[in-house]
Structures are given as structure tokens and as C-alpha cells.
Amino acid sequence: MIPPRLADHAASLAGLARRGRARRLLPALGHDFASNDYLGLAGSPALAEAVAEALSRGVAVGSGGSRLLRGNAVEHEALEEEAAAFFGAPRSLFFSTGHAANLAIFAALPRRGDLVVHDALIHASVHDGLALGRAEIASAAHGDVAAFAEAIADWRRRGGRGRPWIAVESLYSMDGDRAPLAELAALAEATDGFLVVDEAHATGVFGPGGRGLAADLDGRENVVVLHTCGKALGAAGALVCAHPILVDTLIDRARSFLYSTAPSPLLAAAVRAALRLVAAEPERRERLAARVALAERRLAETLAVAPSGSQILPVPIGDNARAVRIAAAMRESGFDLRAIRPPTVPEGTARLRLSITLNVDEPTIAAAIDRLAAVMAEDRR
């Protein structure tokens, strides 16, 4: 029996279940087609050895407080220095998560009177940060530079006097497509504005030396770049790369930085090791690219799915319940594939998100796609 005081919550959950939108936690079982561990670093001996080495020289497990109290460790500062050099940025700042970093950027950097124009498919964490900020907000059609320009022009016509901020992901997490960064950077320059690029799914995988798709923009005074550390880098946390004045503003004003316990110093040591691996082992990116190419060919041949050009390969389904059924059947077959449904993606665009990583070999990729084609055909009957 449901307690009366919980009835409203229970009814909401039941409604989500009827619409095929209820979420639940599932164990990681079978072959990995669901994680963001693109370079296979999360379980690598190299990262484990880096943590063990840090422990052996007395690095603490916990930080003991926020960075502004006693939680600012030598490991944090060493990581930030190495990351700035790796990405070609003047400064970097380490956050506990990518979500916390986006909260900080959009709550603290755009000022009252400014405008933030974000891509319509921008990550939820950006929306959360914008809700805490003071700037005006506008949405632009996905990947449409003209729509960004028109949003800024309309704001100016209505009397906008501050600075525009353009917010995009370099590689979109649900579609696997890319933002037109060069054109958006030119727009930011022409409008005396800023460009914020979330490189979450590109860091370590794309760009010279794995530095991301915005590698040639890092270091510009009006560009802020977020590199998450829990995807291709195999650890956790996030690095914000920006002009020193913007970094100091985050340290001074960003509540998700000010009032959070600092990340474990051991985590900082792991991220340092991951950056060095990315630089030293380009063959990881080459092997990943070959596996992505195979997956794209097989998806096109068996399911007529268009390539995304990245390691994120969405398979359109449409119906929420059908997406859940197919994903469950794939897991029962030993392939860990997950259904993505609204509100993570727009209504009517439920899909399977096939994530290609170095945790699976080419024969396994081929077998998974063949099995997916069979499951989808069976589910139509």
C-alpha cells in the first residue's frame, strides 16, 4: 500500500511508466556498447598504476575540504598546469564533474545584461547553469549559424547592450554530429562576444594529439572550453580552459566550485596520467577510428542507418516502449546497449545509442549489429 503522503510521487512515476519514460538503474553486463570510455582507459593498468604511485608517495584519498579551504592539493595544481599546456590554454581549473563545471560557467561568467544563445540540443547541465545565472537566454536551431546570428541581432534590436555568449557542444552526445565551430568563433568575434565549447565527447578522441575539435580555438581570450575527464580520459571530473581573468572569476564567484569539496587528489593524478597516455599513444585513436568505420558500414548495410562521423551512433526508433524492448533484448543477448528517451532527446525521437569504444573488438561490433538487426526485425512482427 502506498502511504498517502507519497501518493503524488507514486502517481507521477506510474505516469512515466505508462509513457515508456520511467528510468531505472541497470548493471553493466555483457559487451560495452553504452559507456563513454572511448579509449578504454577507465580500467587500464596505466591509470591504476598512476593512482598506486600517488598513494605510495603519500597523496591523500580525500581532499578534506573545498579548494578555498584546505582542499587545494599539489596534485590539483599540477594537473591544472599540465592540462593548460596540453590543451594550449593559458589557465585551467579542475572541477569534480562536468555538470558542476557547466553550472559554474553559465551561472558565473555571463553578466546581467548579457545574452546567452545556446544550441537547441545543448546538454542539460548548461540549462541548469543558465537557470542560476543573470543573463538573458535564447535558443538557436541546432547547428544553424544563421539562427545564432539572428538571435543576437534580434537582442540588439530590442536594446541589448551587454555581450553575447554562444554555447555549443563540439560533438553532440545523442546524435554524434559536430558544431560548426569555425563559423561560430567568427560570429563571436564579429559580435564582440564569447564562445563556450563543451568538448565532453571530443576530448581525447578528435583534434591534434586528442586535444579536441576546438583545439585551434583554445587560448583565445573570448573562448571558454570545457574538457570532461570521465569519458575518453577514463577518470572523472572536468577541466575548464579559459583566460586567467575568467578562471579567477570562476574561483571567486562559481558556487559549484566554492561550496563543493575538492575532487580527490588521487583523481587528479589519474587525469594527469590519462593526458600523458593520450599524447603518447595516438594508436588508440587510430584503432577507435577503424572500429567506428566498421560499425558505420555495418549499420548502413543492415539497418540503413546514416553514419554520424563519430563514435556515437544513434539508431532511430521513435517509440519509447519499443526502444526499451529492443535494448532489453540486446542486453539479454550479451550486448549492453541502452535506450535513450525524452526528455533527454526530443519527443518522438527515442533511439538506441550505440557507443563504440576500445572495450570491444571488431568481431564483437559486427556480431552486435547483426544481432540488433535481427532483434529489430523480430520486434516489428
Flag whether 34 is in a domain.
Answer: yes
Number of H helices, E strands in the chain: 13, 12
Q: From the candidates 37, 80, 198, 336, which is the catalytic residue?
A: 198
In a domain, 214, yes or no: yes
130 belongs to a structural domain: yes
Question: How many structural domains are present in the chain?
Answer: 2
231 tagged catalytic: yes
Rounded to an integer, what distance in angstroms lies between the CA atom of residue 2 and that of residue 121?
37
The number of beta carbons lying within 10 Å of the beta carbon of residue 301 is 12
Place of cell 541589448: 160
9 in any annotated domain = no
Q: How far apart are CA 133 and CA 112, in angstroms?
A: 8
CA 268: distance to chain centroid? 19
d(CA 53, CA 31): 30
Distances (CA, A) of 366 to 50, 202, 217: 34, 24, 37
Active site residue 118: no
In a shared domain, residues 148 and 200 = yes
C-alpha cell at 222: 573570448
**Does one domain contain both 242 and 310?**
no
Which among 280, 315, 335 is the end of a domain?
280
What is the 8-class DSSP label of residue 264? P
In a domain, 49, yes or no: no
- The reply to whether 137 and 207 lie within a common domain is yes
Q: 230 with 371, same domain? A: no
Which is the catalytic residue, given 32, 36, 114, 227? 36
In angstroms, the Cα distances linking 206 to 200, 282, 288 are 11, 10, 11
Place of cell 566550485: 257
CATH assignment at residue 331: 3.90.1150.10
pLDDT of residue 81: 98
Residue 94 confidence (pLDDT): 98
Q: Which of 80, 169, 199, 336 is catalytic?
A: 169
Q: Is the pTM of this model over 0.75?
A: yes
Give me the catalytic one of 123, 175, 222, 260. Answer: 123
| 294 in the same domain as 257 | no
Same domain flag for 221 and 303: no
Flag whether 51 is in a domain: no
Shared domain check, 82 and 34: no
Active site residue 169: yes
- Catalytic residue list contains 36: yes
DSSP assignment letter at 379? H
201 is catalytic: yes
Whether residues 192 and 275 share a domain: the answer is: yes
Catalytic residue among 44, 102, 173, 256: 173
* Sequential pLDDT tens for the chain (381 residues): 888 888 899 889 889 888 877 778 788 889 999 999 999 999 999 999 999 999 999 999 999 999 999 999 999 999 999 999 999 999 999 999 999 999 999 999 999 999 999 999 999 999 999 999 999 999 999 999 999 999 999 999 999 999 999 999 999 999 999 999 999 999 999 999 999 999 999 999 999 999 999 999 989 999 999 999 999 999 999 999 999 999 999 999 999 999 999 999 999 999 999 999 999 999 999 999 999 999 999 999 999 999 999 999 999 999 899 999 999 999 999 999 999 988 889 889 999 999 999 999 999 999 999 999 999 998 875
Indicate the residue among 236, 254, 280 that finishes a domain: 280
> Quick check: is 171 in a domain?
yes
C-alpha to C-alpha distance for 13 and 248, rounded to whole angstroms: 43
Q: Given the residues 76, 99, 201, 243, select the one marked as catalytic.
A: 201
Residues 167, 185: Cα–Cα separation, whole Å: 11
Domain check: are 275 and 296 in the same one? no
- Which strands, in side-by-side order, build the sheet including 312-318? 312-318, 350-355, 338-340
Residues 201 and 94 in one domain: yes
pLDDT at 381: 56
Catalytic hit among 31, 227, 231, 243: 231
Is the same domain home to 364 and 243?
no
Q: Grid coordinates in use for 192? A: 564582440
Q: What share of the chain is helix, strand, coil (3-state, %, to 5)?
A: 45, 15, 40
Domain-embedded: residue 229: yes
168 shares a domain with 102: yes
Domain that holds residue 327: 26-43+282-379
Beta bridge partners of 227: 239
Specify the DSSP class assigned to residue 111. P
| DSSP code, position 306 | P
| Residue whose cell numbers read 520486434 | 379
Task: Give the end of a domain, one of 280, 313, 331.
Answer: 280
- By C-alpha distance, which of 112, 99, 50 is closest to 277? 50
CATH classification at residue 199: 3.40.640.10
* pLDDT value for 13: 86
